[in-house]
Amino acid sequence: MVKDNRILVIGGGIGGLSAAIGLHQKGFDVDVVELSTDWRVYHVGIIVQANFVRALAALDLGDEAVAAGFPYKGWKFLDMAGEEIAELPGDSTVTAPYPADLGLTRPALHKVLTGKVKALGIPVRLGVTFESIEDRGDGVDVRFTDGTSCRYDLVIGADGAYSRTRNIVFPHAPRPSYTGQGVWRYNVPRPRDLEWFHLYMHDDGHTAGYCPLTQDTMYIMTVTEEPGNPHFPPESLADEMRKRLAGFGGLLGELAKRITEPELVVYRPLEVCMLPSPWYKGRILLIGDAAHSATPHLGQGAAMAIEDSVALADELSRDEAPLADKLARFMTRRFERANLVGQMSIKLGEWQMNPASAEQSQAEVTAQMRAKLLEPI
């Protein structure tokens, strides 16, 4: 049996499920609790890149991930009239035989991860969370909301940006804070010849674009400055999104006219919460958005959560070192990389809101980060 074998994962999202899969594959005995009772995710798209595909392949999920998404060819940057400024083709050197870039719906990714968890027989209790967590030094005693209790060698908080586990371990950590921007998304049918993620740059700094998600669907998105973090009446959302796409030409100008159903618009204010190192105390560790939730400007949140899981499973199973040493090694592998992604994402948002302060274009930063993230984790 591997050392420090009993592990609890709090949260059955992208980070929690990938951690449960990776740890189970290395021989750990993993329990998962997930607060939501129906375990459904909302129907929007995410864009992911080579390091996401590589991390899922490391969990033996490469075939399923690629089959669930649309392998788009890379990122094209355009001016607001729709003229191309730069092109960043996907680089599959670290993903071959798989493609580098994927568009996915969240439910499709969730199905890939939950399918594997079920196939491996990892126990997941839905509608359950912790009542209390006590780190006793030689183990962590957890009482659950279903009345049960159990002792674990390690507890992993993968409970997202509003992590309750974080509140327990780091009560003085910063809370998620609004960045001043929001993101608007809307799904439409994919034109047959659309194979790239297109990102248009407005002269005022805000961006908008579209990306294929499946053979049949794509999504339109725009990231805009929203002073004061306003609430929009649900019935106004289609009008509000179209307003923010006014002024864009090219295909985007045409696609904007198709945004007509307010209930199909998904609007989210952008919030960030980046923890300093370390993300653990004693036998309780945070991963994914619980430790580093940034903005989606680089399309890297899901990849960072899954990379956390792959690196953690590696470090915990590598040797017989004390748990504290393994967690310290995990931080060495993860902090700088996840922090760089977070800080650059936040900076891109700040530069969009204040273009005069921009030190680099979004295309330049994206090119540098895409190359950097091909480095081994």
- Residue with Cβ nearer ligand FAD (5 or 114): 114
Cα dist. 265→75, 178, 214, 215, 216 in Å?
Answer: 23, 20, 18, 21, 18
- The least CB distance from residue 81 to ligand FAD, in Å, is 25
- Residue with Cβ nearer ligand FAD (159 or 315): 159
- Residue with Cβ nearer ligand FAD (136 or 268): 268
Output helix, strand, coil percentages for the chain, rounded to the nearest 5: 40, 25, 35
Please pick, from the candidates 8, 48, 100, 140, the single residue that binds ligand FAD as defined by CB under 6 A.
48
Q: How far apart are the first and last CA of the chain?
A: 27
- Residue with Cβ nearer ligand FAD (69 or 299): 299
Joined together, the tokens standing for residue 334 give 């993860």
Binding footprint of ligand FAD, residue count (CB under 6 A): 31
Strands 124-126 and 130-135: unpaired
Under the binding rule (CB under 6 A), the answer on residue 111 touching ligand FAD is: no
| CA–CA dist 260, 81 (Å, integer) | 22
Under the binding rule (CB under 6 A), the answer on residue 258 touching ligand FAD is: no
Please pick, from the candidates 7, 30, 46, 255, the single residue that binds ligand FAD as defined by CB under 6 A.
46
Please pick, from the candidates 8, 10, 113, 273, the single residue that binds ligand FAD as defined by CB under 6 A.
10
Helix and strand numbers, DSSP H then E, in the chain: 10, 19
Under the binding rule (CB under 6 A), the answer on residue 51 touching ligand FAD is: no
| CA–CA dist 112, 103 (Å, integer) | 14
| CA–CA dist 312, 276 (Å, integer) | 18
- The least CB distance from residue 346 to ligand FAD, in Å, is 13
- Residue with Cβ nearer ligand FAD (36 or 357): 36
Angle at 178 between CA 224 and CA 131, to 5 degrees: 135
The DSSP annotation for 295-356 comes to -GGGS-HHHHHHHHHHHHHHHHHH-S--HHHHHHHHHHHHHHHHHHHHHHHHHHHHHHHSGG
- The least CB distance from residue 299 to ligand FAD, in Å, is 4
Tell me the three state secondary structure of residue 118.
helix
Under the binding rule (CB under 6 A), the answer on residue 13 touching ligand FAD is: yes
Of residues 205-224, which lie at the interface with ligand FAD (CB under 6 A)? none
- Residue with Cβ nearer ligand FAD (268 or 318): 268
- Judged by CB under 6 A, which stretch of 41-49, 65-73, 312-320, 355-363 contacts ligand FAD? 41-49
Under the binding rule (CB under 6 A), the answer on residue 95 touching ligand FAD is: no
Under the binding rule (CB under 6 A), the answer on residue 342 touching ligand FAD is: no
Cα dist. 366→176, 280, 341 in Å?
Answer: 24, 30, 10
| CA–CA dist 182, 197 (Å, integer) | 19
- Residue with Cβ nearer ligand FAD (3 or 164): 164
Under the binding rule (CB under 6 A), the answer on residue 11 touching ligand FAD is: yes
Under the binding rule (CB under 6 A), the answer on residue 36 touching ligand FAD is: yes
Furthest CA-CA distance within the chain: 62
- Residue with Cβ nearer ligand FAD (167 or 360): 167
Of residues 126-165, which lie at the interface with ligand FAD (CB under 6 A)? 129, 158-160, 164
